[in-house]
Structure 1
């Protein structure tokens, strides 16, 4: 029987390689070591030959380690990288995770720690195929103009949904002012326009090649680099992309904004839930009322459109009950105003639910994810 997880070890310490092999020997039916190398060049050859699910990479120099992780992730997007190092610095951990590593392990590695790390990666890699599971659910995060934090909600919701290894896609369909690449500090080779311009080639292999796997969990498809590229994207292309993503991922989170027409209507038609995100300010509520009424006239029922109040302050002049009365919608979830933690997470390129899971805004978004998946 072929093991479920194939593994390549790249480690300069012979005794460490031997210890990892001995640790994994009892699990040989599920984890198969297909290569063990003492240096990166040799290990890279093994990866090219065997296309393993996982690479265990020793890191002794942070800059070199980041480059090696980035190279593996770029050339082999289906391979997960677990790094091991003696350095306890949070800068090392964050830098290597941002480079694409899915786990950071302190040396020496214990059997239990290694087992847990591989179990986590295994859950991420080996969910049932699309033919065996219900179609994935699509959640769109929307407000017609900028400034209310839709991208903050989208990025953190996607990371929350992916927290247990669930396959999650995060797509930036805010075509003219998308910002997911900035929030996650990614500069992908391929963007949304790479998919739309090759729509006839769309299949699982092509999709996984062009999407960027962020260290916080989701597979990311970022906004077009050029405005001219965005103009060429059609509602039919959006429908096709979302329908395909639904067949590959358990959850698809879409960040969107702009007019209630064209591609946005295509997004809403495909969405299981639409999180209409607003704030408790007079201008935002006035605009929200106009658009919520228009959405209802277009057949988007209230049970599919959920009202989320972002940057919530309990002692603000306008209260939740006032907003509900004005908008004719019950508030689905409030997300506290947590400027310092949120801005800090954006500057670090990592969702706040990952770097400050105990913060009020993180707890609110994690609760939001729980409600949406019941």
Structure 2
């Protein structure tokens, strides 16, 4: 059967064009590359011969790129345009999407992301399915009150999981005291409330436009800026957001805290794994015991609840075996107490697993990442 999708590549970088061509070569029975050119003017010649179903367009200048998108769509309204750019700002993404692009890929283009983008176009199926894998895993990191390092763990776990090319989301659902933006030194234009206030138009494309990709790898959705915004967020909105995220990402890491009610229960219902994070102190263990019992009563059992001991000191007065006896849980992983390394990473806005990969903290979190995959 002849190819039934005509695809055009417009990209000034020859190596990038070759990468796209190599990625699509196994699908030659489905996709025909009608042109692979460096400039928009060269593309016009290819389009004159055969109308493309899909165009992969490099964006180097957002205003010019948006004009190109609008011009292409005015002449070929049925064509789907996927753009790629080194620029990861929300303004560029939104401008491209508003002009009519259906997907926005960061450069260098990752092969899996390109295949997923093409399949999302919805015009064809691949001879070799790219989405046979299960939906993404949601891993929540929780302690009811602050002070035990849930954000440190969530940020570094997300960065660890993103190192092997997996597509990872990091979401701050600690609605009233979230701190991911501070830990990663980001000040995004759009936050969680940008999603919840536009919940009616929520889809994969919209979610990607409001998320910020951090240099450490994860795509980040930060906490609401205002308390009033957090108050208005509902469990139903949380469930819907997480369901979309798990359809896009390999892993979704959620930082959460607060009462065992409402939005937190929605998070836990959606989670494949709940990393209950605590410390080896009497107050922390007492609180941990109360909440673990309450969570089990609500149906969150040991197959999903995993106990993490943060700031672990081997010679502390309270030992791991003591905590396990009191709590009735085996400790899933310990994170050593390396205060200076962690503070240094926070001050620099870079996860410790990236900044100081040889730190004992980094090694323990890398091991945890392997355990939750």
TM-score relative to the length of structure 2: 0.75
Secondary structure of 1:135's match? coil
State whether residues 160 and 353 of structure 1, in contact with CA within 8 Å, keep that contact through their aligned partners in structure 2.
yes
Q: Structure 2 vs 1, CA of residues 216 and 269 (structure 1 numbering), >3 Å: closer, same or farther?
A: same
**Aligned match of 2:268:** 268
Secondary structure of 1:29's match? helix
Distance between the aligned counterparts of 1:3 and 1:331, measured in 2? 54
Q: How far did residue 342 of structure 1 move?
A: 1.1
**Aligned match of 2:162:** 162
- Let me know the Cα RMSD of the aligned residues: 2.9
Distance between the aligned counterparts of 2:163 and 2:353, measured in 1? 10
1:23-62 matches, within 5 Å, as: 29-30=21-22, 32=36, 34-35=38-39, 43-44=61-62, 47-48=65-66, 49=68, 53-55=83-85
Tell me how many residue pairs correspond in the alignment. Answer: 312
Partner deviation per Cα, 1:337-368 (whole Å, 9 max, x = no partner):
11112111111111111121121111111110
**Aligned match of 2:48:** none
Q: How far did residue 28 of structure 1 move?
A: 6.8
Partner deviation per Cα, 1:43-82 (whole Å, 9 max, x = no partner):
44554336765446xxxxxxxxxxx775656755965565
Distance between the aligned counterparts of 2:8 and 2:284, measured in 1? 50
State whether residues 11 and 17 of structure 2, in contact with CA within 8 Å, keep that contact through their aligned partners in structure 1.
no
**Aligned match of 1:281:** 281
Q: Structure 2 vs 1, CA of residues 29 and 357 (structure 1 numbering), >3 Å: closer, same or farther?
A: same
Distance between the aligned counterparts of 2:155 and 2:338, measured in 1? 15
Distance between the aligned counterparts of 2:8 and 2:249, measured in 1? 20
Distance between the aligned counterparts of 2:247 and 2:60, measured in 1? 37
Partner deviation per Cα, 1:267-324 (whole Å, 9 max, x = no partner):
1111111000001111111111111111111111111100001111111111111111
**Aligned match of 2:111:** 122
State whether residues 7 and 55 of structure 1, in contact with CA within 8 Å, keep that contact through their aligned partners in structure 2.
no
Unaligned runs of at least 5 residues, structure 2: 24-35, 41-58, 70-80, 98-102, 121-129
Shifted more, 299-308 versus 26-35: the winner is 26-35
State whether residues 171 and 254 of structure 2, in contact with CA within 8 Å, keep that contact through their aligned partners in structure 1.
yes
Distance between the aligned counterparts of 1:6 and 1:303, measured in 2? 47
**Aligned match of 1:349:** 349
**Aligned match of 1:241:** 241
Distance between the aligned counterparts of 1:257 and 1:180, measured in 2? 13
Secondary structure of 1:322's match? helix
Secondary structure of 2:163's match? coil
**Aligned match of 2:300:** 300
Q: Structure 2 vs 1, CA of residues 145 and 363 (structure 1 numbering), >3 Å: closer, same or farther?
A: same
Q: Structure 2 vs 1, CA of residues 24 and 243 (structure 1 numbering), >3 Å: closer, same or farther?
A: closer
Distance between the aligned counterparts of 1:359 and 1:3, measured in 2? 50
Q: How far did residue 123 of structure 1 move?
A: 3.9
State whether residues 8 and 46 of structure 1, in contact with CA within 8 Å, keep that contact through their aligned partners in structure 2.
no
Unaligned runs of at least 5 residues, structure 1: 10-19, 57-67, 83-116
Secondary structure of 2:175's match? coil
State whether residues 338 and 360 of structure 1, in contact with CA within 8 Å, keep that contact through their aligned partners in structure 2.
yes
Q: How far did residue 135 of structure 1 move?
A: 1.3
Q: Structure 2 vs 1, CA of residues 34 and 232 (structure 1 numbering), >3 Å: closer, same or farther?
A: farther
Distance between the aligned counterparts of 2:182 and 2:8, measured in 1? 33
Q: How far did residue 335 of structure 1 move?
A: 0.7
Q: Structure 2 vs 1, CA of residues 274 and 25 (structure 1 numbering), >3 Å: closer, same or farther?
A: closer
**Aligned match of 2:361:** 361
Distance between the aligned counterparts of 1:248 and 1:178, measured in 2? 23
Q: Whose Rg is larger? A: 2
1:1-374 matches, within 5 Å, as: 8-9=11-12, 21=14, 29-30=21-22, 32=36, 34-35=38-39, 43-44=61-62, 47-48=65-66, 49=68, 53-55=83-85, 70=89, 72=92, 75=95, 79=104, 121-127=110-116, 132-373=132-373
